[in-house]
């Protein structure tokens, strides 16, 4: 039996995928409300294919509990928040989970940490916890790091098809964990040491963050001289060795917007390019806010309450608002002692911010300037509703004459 600890955006799909492919699984989370919801046969977030996988897992016998199980294999997939000031990861949830596993695990148990951590976290924080509890690593307990590599909006496909990295102290233990993930993973599964596995996951997301920052900086340069950054990127990407990503209103989610800070926090005197790149990305919501004020002035608009932000999630077609650029923009507005922007997102049914609409028609009717923050499918199906509005398009999806871009 495998006990999956933490049933959030990563832990739940992992538990379901294992169960649906013949592995006996108990999913554990301290959030009793979340556990009760799962026991009632309901998922806790929206994701394409999640409901179908959930049904298959229920049929296969998956169980949910708020208690840690007595078994020999644990997968820990709990959050790893970072301090926005020190830029260092806080491994407290991982440490707490490991301590609780040690209270119940069988001798020789394997603890697989899926949570993304900064390089060296397992050596600095997890090994000492295990040793202080009187366990001998490699005999009483085996440690493995198997960082996830999936993205909201495409989780089911990527869980199956993406390559994986497994870091272990011994090849034998690594092979056993590889066999477990191979029950569903069709991608290559690479075995390495734990420190390398920690580093590769963070470096992957850091590479994308730096690439996005380059695109965002290009957008600012092109705005300064009234050039079309999208056309420039399109032409540059025709070169076989160039692949510039698209600029946007900011970077959200719990990977690209967070993981690079682990390196900055741990190597402040070395990670200079990463540091500046992250500052560029973090500054984009402010840049968009300034564009809003510029466009209002150019069009004689004086009432900020006639400006609406379409999109509250961090990316299209998901209900995930973690590190959302829209939320960052609203926070920036508050810091400037201003409020009033209207907000609408078809995927967010609960009230999260002031002036949030739940009806698209009412939202469109009550604004003169629409800022496209997220390119949901819903928006692409309703672009005709924008024809009489002033539009600031931060996602390059609306191409009518007169549309403002970043």
Active-site residue (options: 105, 185, 222, 255): 255
Averaged confidence pLDDT in the chain:
94
Residues 6+ apart with CB under 8 A from 179: none
Which pair of structure tokens corresponds to residue 39?
């026991």
CB atoms within 10 A of CB 224: 8
- List pLDDT tens digits, range 340-399: 999 999 999 999 999 999 999 999 999 999 999 999 999 999 999 999 999 999 999 999
**Residue 69 and residue 2: Cα distance in Å, rounded?**
9
- List pLDDT tens digits, range 326-340: 999 999 988 876 789
* pLDDT value at 83 more than 80: no
- Of all residues in the chain, the percent with pLDDT exceeding 70 is 99
What pLDDT is recorded for position 59? 96
- List pLDDT tens digits, range 187-227: 999 999 999 999 999 999 999 999 999 999 999 999 999 99
What pLDDT is recorded for position 152? 79
* pLDDT value at 115 more than 70: yes
Which residue, among 56, 52, 43, 39, has the nearest Cα to 12 in the 3D structure?
43
* pLDDT value at 284 more than 90: yes
What pLDDT is recorded for position 39? 96
Which residue, among 228, 231, 398, has the nearest Cα to 310 in the 3D structure?
398
Active-site residue (options: 87, 201, 342, 405): 201
CB atoms within 10 A of CB 70: 12
Residues 6+ apart with CB under 8 A from 44: 7, 12, 34, 37, 38
**Mean pLDDT value of segment 106-134:** 95
- List pLDDT tens digits, range 314-327: 999 999 998 999 99
pTM of the model: 0.88
Domains identified in the chain and CATH numbers: 2-192 (3.40.50.720), 207-405 (3.40.50.720)
> Is 255 annotated as catalytic?
yes
- List pLDDT tens digits, range 248-262: 999 998 788 888 998
**Buried b / exposed e across 265-283, counting CB within 10 Å, b at 16+?**
bbeeeebeebbebbebbbb
**Residue 356 and residue 351: Cα distance in Å, rounded?**
7
> Is 185 annotated as catalytic?
no
- List pLDDT tens digits, range 55-70: 999 999 999 999 999 9
Secondary structure of residue 251 in the 3-state scheme: coil
């Amino acid at each position: 039996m495998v006990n999956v600890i933490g049933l959030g955006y990563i832990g739940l799909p992992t538990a379901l995928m294992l169960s649906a492919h013949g592995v006996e699984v108990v999913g554990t989370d301290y959030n009793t409300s979340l556990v009760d919801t799962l026991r009632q046969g309901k998922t806790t977030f929206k994701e394409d294919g999640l409901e179908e996988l959930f049904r298959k897992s229920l049929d296969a016998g998956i169980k949910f509990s708020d208690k840690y199980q007595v078994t020999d294999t644990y997968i820990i997939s709990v959050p790893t928040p970072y301090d926005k000031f020190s830029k260092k990861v806080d491994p407290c949830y991982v440490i707490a989970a490991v301590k609780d596993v040690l209270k119940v695990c069988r001798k020789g148990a394997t603890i697989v940490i899926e949570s993304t951590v900064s390089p060296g976290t397992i050596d600095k924080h997890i090994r000492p916890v295990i040793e202080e509890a009187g366990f001998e690593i490699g005999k009483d307990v085996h440690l493995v790091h198997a960082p996830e590599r999936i993205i909201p909006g495409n989780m089911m496909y990527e869980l199956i098809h993406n390559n994986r990295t497994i870091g272990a102290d011994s090849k034998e233990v690594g092979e056993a964990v590889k066999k477990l993930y191979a029950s569903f993973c069709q991608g290559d599964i690479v075995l390495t040491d734990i420190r390398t596995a920690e580093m590769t996951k963070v470096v992957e997301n850091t590479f994308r963050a730096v690439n996005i920052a380059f695109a965002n900086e290009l957008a600012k340069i092109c705005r300064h001289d009234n050039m079309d950054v999208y056309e420039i990127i399109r032409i540059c990407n025709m070169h076989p060795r160039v692949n510039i990503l698209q600029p946007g209103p900011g970077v959200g989610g719990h990977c690209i917007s967070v993981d690079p800070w682990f390196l900055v926090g741990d190597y402040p005197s070395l990670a200079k390019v990463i540091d500046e790149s992250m500052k560029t990305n973090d500054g984009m919501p402010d840049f968009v806010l300034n564009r809003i004020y510029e466009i209002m002035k150019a069009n004689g608009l004086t009432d900020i309450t006639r400006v609406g932000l379409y999109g509250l999630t961090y990316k299209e077609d998901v209900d995930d608002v973690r590190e959302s650029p829209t939320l960052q923009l609203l926070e920036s507005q508050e810091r400037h002692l201003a409020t009033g922007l209207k907000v609408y997102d078809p995927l967010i049914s609960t009230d999260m911010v002031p002036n949030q609409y739940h009806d698209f028609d009412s939202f469109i009717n009550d604004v003169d300037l629409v800022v496209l923050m997220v390119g949901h499918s819903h928006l692409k199906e309703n672009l005709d509703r924008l024809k009489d509005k002033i539009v600031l398009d931060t996602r390059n999806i609306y191409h009518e004459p007169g549309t403002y871009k970043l």
